[in-house]
């Protein structure tokens, strides 16, 4: 918290944090009045919502499906195949994406040309950036996230399923009335934590996937902070700190709001 005051000062390294001149909210106002502010916030929030909507249900669906697989070897094989991509580093993952989507030698362009279509540089089309980012992330993380739900499903009393089978309930009915209520507390907690990271998209992957053609939709808060505050000719720690503090305050407000909403709806909450 001592270092957070840099956001309210014109930080000069030779003077240190305490002796640097106080400027109040000047750096925040500069960011809010920037001509790129609304585009950056729109890209960040839009990408976060897209990622949340696409990535949150799939681990639950995968866990519910694997929970009813009776063949143990097949079940373990599917688990290994789905969670192995999680251990691929971000740099390698982006390299794979670039190779697959390369307009000359990529597999997508090769298949497109085989069917008589023209190859397209998908990473150069701004409208495709969000989908490429989100769905590659879903593929990479769905298996690892599924482990949490499988652990929650294993704690459900088997007597509930036995009684449901005796009553003639189908697997879908058992999923809806037994499994989903059983994992709902865990799902709500994870949802609250995801919303609390709404503006934390992930600098590395976004920055590596960026290029001058897709910058219109790929520029987010983290990459903007790096370029303007840290990678420019004049390093501005105060401006970068102000944007980072603003982002964290918004995340905290969202976390508190969603946690309170979950509590009022009678669901699990963080506190």
Examine residue 8 and state whether it is found in any structural domain, yes or no. yes
Q: Yes or no: say if 241 and 4 are a contact pair by the CB < 8 Å rule.
A: yes
Q: Is 234 a residue whose pLDDT tops 80?
A: no
d(CA 188, CA 113): 45
- Tell whether 105 is covered by a domain: yes
Residue 220 lies inside a defined structural domain of this protein: yes
Are 174 and 64 spatial neighbours (Cβ–Cβ below 8 Å)? Answer: no
pLDDT of residue 18 exceeding 80: yes
- The pLDDT of residue 113 is 87
Q: Is residue 231 part of a domain?
A: yes
Long-range pairs of 231-237 with CB within 8 A, sequence gap ≥ 24: 237/6, 237/11
Whether 83 and 147 have beta carbons less than 8 Å apart is answered as: yes
User: CB–CB of 205/133 below 8 Å?
Assistant: yes
Per-residue pLDDT tens for 138-170?
A: 999 999 999 999 999 988 888 998 899 998 888
| Tally of CA atoms within 13 A in the half-sphere of 27 that contains its CB | 26
| pLDDT computed for residue 14 by the predictor | 80
- Tally of CB atoms within 10 A around 128: 16
| The token pair that represents 263 in the structure block | 């509590």
Please check whether residue 102 lies inside any domain of the structure. Answer: yes
> 66: helix, coil or strand?
helix
Choose among 213, 220, 223: nearest CA to 123: 213
Residue 218 is assigned to a structural domain of this protein: yes
Res. 253 pLDDT band, cuts 50 70 90: very high
What confidence tens digit (pLDDT) does each residue in 175-226 have?
Answer: 999 999 999 888 988 888 898 888 888 789 999 999 999 999 999 999 998 8
233 pLDDT band, cuts 50/70/90, is: low
Residues 6+ apart with CB under 8 A from 271: 259
Express each pLDDT in 23-36 by its tens digit: 989 999 999 998 88
Using pLDDT thresholds of 50, 70 and 90, give the confidence band for residue 265. confident
14-18, 67-71, 151-155, 174-178: least confident range: 14-18
Enclosing domain of residue 64: 3-264
Residue 228 confidence (pLDDT):
82
Residue 193 inside a domain? The answer is: yes
Q: Domain containing 155 — which CATH number?
A: 1.10.3720.10
Proportion of the chain in helix, strand, coil states, percent, rounded to 5:
75, 0, 25
End-to-end distance of the chain based on CA atoms, in angstroms? 23
Q: For position 268, what pLDDT does the model report?
A: 73
Q: Would residue 271 count as lying in a domain? A: no
Report the number of distinct structural domains present in the chain: 1
Arithmetic mean of pLDDT, 60-85:
90
Residue 264: Cβ-neighbour burial (10 angstroms; 0-12, 13-18, 19+) = exposed
Burial class (CB in 10 A: 0-12, 13-18, 19+), 212: exposed
């Amino acid at each position: 918290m001592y270092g957070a005051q840099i956001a309210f000062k014109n930080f000069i390294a030779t003077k240190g944090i305490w002796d640097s001149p106080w400027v109040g909210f000047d750096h925040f106002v500069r960011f809010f009045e920037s001509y790129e502010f609304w585009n950056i916030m729109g890209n960040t929030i839009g990408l976060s919502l897209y990622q949340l909507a696409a990535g949150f249900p799939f681990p639950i669906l995968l866990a519910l499906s694997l929970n009813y697989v009776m063949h143990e070897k097949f079940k373990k094989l599917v688990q290994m195949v789905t969670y192995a991509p999680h251990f691929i580093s971000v740099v390698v993952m982006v390299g794979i994406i670039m190779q697959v989507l390369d307009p000359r030698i990529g597999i997508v362009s090769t298949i497109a040309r085989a069917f008589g279509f023209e190859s397209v540089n998908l990473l150069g089309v701004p409208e495709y950036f969000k989908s490429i980012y989100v769905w590659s992330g879903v593929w990479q993380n769905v298996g690892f996230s599924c482990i949490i739900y499988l652990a929650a499903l294993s704690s459900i009393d088997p007597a509930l399923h036995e009684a449901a089978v005796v009553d003639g309930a189908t697997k879908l009915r058992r999923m809806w009335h037994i499994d989903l209520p059983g994992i709902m507390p865990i799902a709500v907690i994870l949802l609250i934590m995801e919303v609390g990271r709404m503006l934390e998209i992930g600098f590395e992957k976004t920055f590596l996937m960026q290029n001058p053609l897709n910058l219109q939709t790929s520029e987010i808060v983290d990459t903007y902070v790096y370029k303007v505050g840290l990678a420019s000719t004049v390093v501005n720690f105060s401006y970068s700190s102000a944007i980072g503090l603003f982002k964290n305050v918004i995340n905290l407000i969202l976390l508190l709001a969603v946690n309170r909403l979950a509590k009022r709806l009678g669901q699990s909450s963080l506190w």
